[in-house]
């Protein structure tokens, strides 16, 4: 009977995976909290202490560091190795499921003590990973819950493939390498920034045909943006950039009043963003924001892409669609578009939580802008406060403008079943031109709409232009030495104005 040892801090997807192993006849060995979690879910498990006939010691610091465990993992399939195990009444271990104490997460917290950091240096887990990875020709290593289902499927089909075991071993060595580097940096106070990137594919070319390009992932074996390409021709360098921009934007609307959201991006710039009760309506509103720019764009959805939305595309030429999933009927409809790329995303999380940019002889690193800090409080600075409808549209416009290149201006308005952009202006050296572009794109739809600006107004001219376009409410960070002039312009035109105190430049 095959045996697996499970020792995980992160118990994501553990229970269904363990049940799947038991259904296939596996014996499960586990320690501490992992064993408790399995027993609480009525999954039979052998405690490590019973398997090794040796108790945990030093308050759990030593659990799996025992020759019965490591001998079982490191034993090759040779007759001599298996015979040696039998001399000690030990058995081979065929699968190792392990992840590590969250050292980086703990040490990233404010006021973490050295004692806390040291207690979160994993020893046994690292040893298990390295042992299983070294013996990948016989043993399967799982150190990422996202790999559980694939391995379970291969086991159901007859066994884990050697190529899979090797890839998982590489993933394990990559994890321990990063883990040790993080410990070194913390204890050595080096502030060294390290990044490991793993080749995914060579691209046909970069932004232009004369530029070479390749895609790398931050985890071994990851696909496009951590997701899976379901159909269509090979993704290009520009496709990846646009998909990333669209996905980051739509992910920020993940909980938009439980509404479905669509973002359409062209050349790294959102040209339409909308949220509605159903996805097809959200798409129609997003497309209407700038139907000319939507042609040849990239679409991202924060909900399963369904048949109604697939039909709503009509004759619109679309390069790529990214979504958490695609319904079977939608896939059948979209399959007729042979060149259309469909990318099924892993989840709505944006990782890593930092951004890098190369500059001449250097790298810039910053946190991802996930929107306003929790403590942000909006302040009404005009004579008139926004109505509830205006406030709803202002919230949406403010969120949308954070994904537009500075200087960012977004016009938005409520519709019967949702809210959407009606005009977007960005990427210009001055804010006035961006207001003009947004107003031109919106046309008559700007009358009764609201406006968001990613930064303050240095002069009242942008507010005056917005008033002429029919804008009724404005949100911006505030903080200009001439804020009073902009407020006066708003009051003169009966515009409600709100300041957030938070800027959202995006260069």
- Residues 397/412, Cβ–Cβ less than 8 Å: yes
Cα–Cα distance, 321 to 478 (Å, whole number): 36
pLDDT of residue 1: 80
Q: Is 66 an annotated catalytic residue?
A: no
Q: Of the CATH numbers 3.40.140.20, 2.40.110.10, 3.30.420.10, 3.40.1280.10, which one belongs to the domain with range 226-344?
A: 3.40.140.20
- What Å distances lie between residue 12 and 1, 147, 172, CA to CA? 26, 11, 18
Comparing 85 with 448, which gets the higher pLDDT? Answer: 448
Q: Is 191 an annotated catalytic residue?
A: no
**pLDDT band of 420, cuts 50, 70, 90:** very high
- 210-217: average pLDDT: 95
Strand extents, DSSP E, 252-361: 260-266, 269-276, 297-301, 318-323, 341-344, 354-359
Cα–Cα distance, 55 to 62 (Å, whole number): 9
pLDDT in tens, 248-304: 999 999 775 568 999 999 999 999 999 999 999 999 999 999 999 999 999 999 999
- 376-394: average pLDDT: 97
Find the helix or strand (DSSP H, E) in which 35 lies: helix 32-40
Q: Is the pLDDT of residue 425 over 70?
A: yes
**pLDDT band of 57, cuts 50, 70, 90:** confident
pLDDT of residue 33: 86
pLDDT of residue 470: 97
pLDDT of residue 189: 77
Indicate the burial class of 494 (C-beta count within 10 angstroms; 0-12, 13-18, 19 or more): exposed
pLDDT, mean over the chain: 92
Q: Is the pLDDT of residue 166 over 90?
A: yes
Find the helix or strand (DSSP H, E) in which 152 lies: helix 148-156
Q: Is the pLDDT of residue 388 over 80?
A: yes
pLDDT of residue 74: 87
Fold (topology level) of 3-188: Rossmann fold (3.40.50)
pLDDT of residue 258: 67
- 422-436: average pLDDT: 97
**pLDDT band of 89, cuts 50, 70, 90:** confident
| Domain made up of 379-499: CATH architecture | 3-Layer(aba) Sandwich (3.40)
Q: What is the pTM of this model?
A: 0.72
Cα–Cα distance, 72 to 67 (Å, whole number): 8
Residue 7 bridge partners (DSSP) = 98
- Which candidate, 164, 118, 124, 114, places its Cα nearest to that of 144? 164
pLDDT of residue 152: 93
- Which candidate, 494, 460, 496, places its Cα nearest to that of 475? 496
DSSP string over 244-277? HHHHHHHHTTTTSTT-EEEEEEETTEEEEEEEES
Q: Is the pLDDT of residue 423 over 90?
A: yes
**Omega before residue 107 within 30° of 0, cis:** no
pLDDT of residue 143: 93
pLDDT of residue 256: 57
pLDDT of residue 126: 92
Q: Exactly one of 267, 403, 405, 476 is catalytic; name it.
A: 267
- 74-92: average pLDDT: 83
Cα–Cα distance, 355 to 298 (Å, whole number): 21
Q: Is the pLDDT of residue 332 over 90?
A: yes
Q: Exactly one of 11, 13, 134, 436 is catalytic; name it.
A: 134
Listed in order, the ranges of the chain carrying CATH 3.40.140.20 are 226-344, 379-499
pLDDT in tens, 174-211: 899 888 888 888 888 777 787 878 889 999 999 999 99
What sign has the CA pseudo-torsion 68, 73, 74, 79? positive
What token pair was written down for 306? Answer: 């369904």
Q: Percent of the chain beyond pLDDT 90?
A: 72
Listed in order, the ranges of the chain carrying CATH 3.40.50.1380 are 3-188
């Amino acid at each position: 009977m095959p045996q697996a040892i499970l020792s995980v801090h992160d118990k994501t997807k553990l229970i269904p995976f363990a049940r799947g192993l038991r259904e296939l006849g596996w014996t499960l060995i586990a320690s501490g909290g992992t064993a408790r979690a399995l027993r609480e879910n009525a999954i039979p498990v052998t405690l490590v202490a019973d398997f090794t006939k040796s108790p945990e010691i030093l308050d759990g610091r030593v659990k799996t560091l025992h020759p019965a465990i490591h001998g079982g993992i490191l034993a090759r399939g040779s007759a001599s190795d298996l015979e040696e195990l039998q001399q000690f009444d030990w058995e081979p271990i065929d699968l190792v499921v392990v992840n590590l104490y969250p050292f980086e997460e703990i040490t990233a917290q404010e006021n973490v003590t050295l004692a806390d950091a040291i207690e979160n240096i994993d020893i046994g887990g690292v040893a298990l990973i390295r042992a299983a990875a070294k013996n990948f020709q016989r043993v399967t290593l799982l150190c990422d819950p996202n790999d559980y289902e694939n391995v379970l499927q291969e086991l159901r089909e007859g066994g884990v493939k050697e190529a899979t075991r090797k890839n998982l071993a590489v993933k394990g060595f990559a994890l321990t390498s990063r883990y040790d580097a993080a410990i070194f940096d913390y204890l050595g106070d080096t502030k060294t920034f390290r990044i490991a990137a793993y080749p995914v594919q060579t691209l046909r070319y970069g932004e232009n045909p004369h530029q070479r390009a390749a895609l790398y992932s931050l985890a071994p074996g990851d696909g496009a943006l951590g997701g899976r390409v379901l159909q269509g021709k090979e993704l290009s360098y520009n496709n990846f950039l646009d998909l990333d921009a669209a996905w980051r934007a739509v992910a920020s609307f993940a909980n938009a009043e439980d509404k479905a959201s669509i973002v359409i991006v062209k050349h790294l710039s959102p040209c339409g963003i909308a949220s509605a009760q159903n996805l097809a309506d959200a798409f129609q509103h997003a497309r209407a924001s700038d139907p000319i720019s939507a042609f040849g764009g990239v679409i991202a959805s924060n909900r399963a892409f369904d048949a109604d939305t697939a039909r709503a595309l009509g004759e619109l030429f679309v390069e790529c669609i990214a979504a958490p999933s695609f319904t079977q009927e939608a896939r059948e409809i979209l399959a007729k578009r042979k060149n259309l790329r469909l990318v099924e995303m892993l989840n709505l999380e944006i990782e890593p939580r930092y951004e890098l940019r190369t500059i001449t002889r250097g790298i810039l690193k910053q946190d991802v802008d996930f929107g306003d800090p929790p403590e942000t409080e909006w302040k009404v600075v005009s004579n008139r406060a926004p109505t509830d409808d205006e406030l709803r549209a202002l919230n949406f416009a403010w969120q949308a403008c954070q994904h537009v290149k500075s200087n960012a201006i977004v016009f938005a308005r409520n519709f019967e079943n949702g809210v959407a952009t009606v005009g977007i202006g960005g990427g210009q050296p001055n804010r006035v031109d961006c207001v003009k572009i947004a107003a031109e794109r919106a046309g008559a739809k700007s009358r009764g709409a609201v406006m968001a600006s990613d930064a303050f107004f240095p002069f009242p001219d942008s507010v005056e232009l917005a008033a002429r376009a029919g804008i009724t409410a404005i949100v911006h960070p505030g903080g200009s030495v001439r804020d009073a002039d902009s407020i006066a312009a708003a009051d003169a035109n009966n515009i409600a104005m709100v300041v957030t105190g938070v800027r959202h430049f995006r260069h």
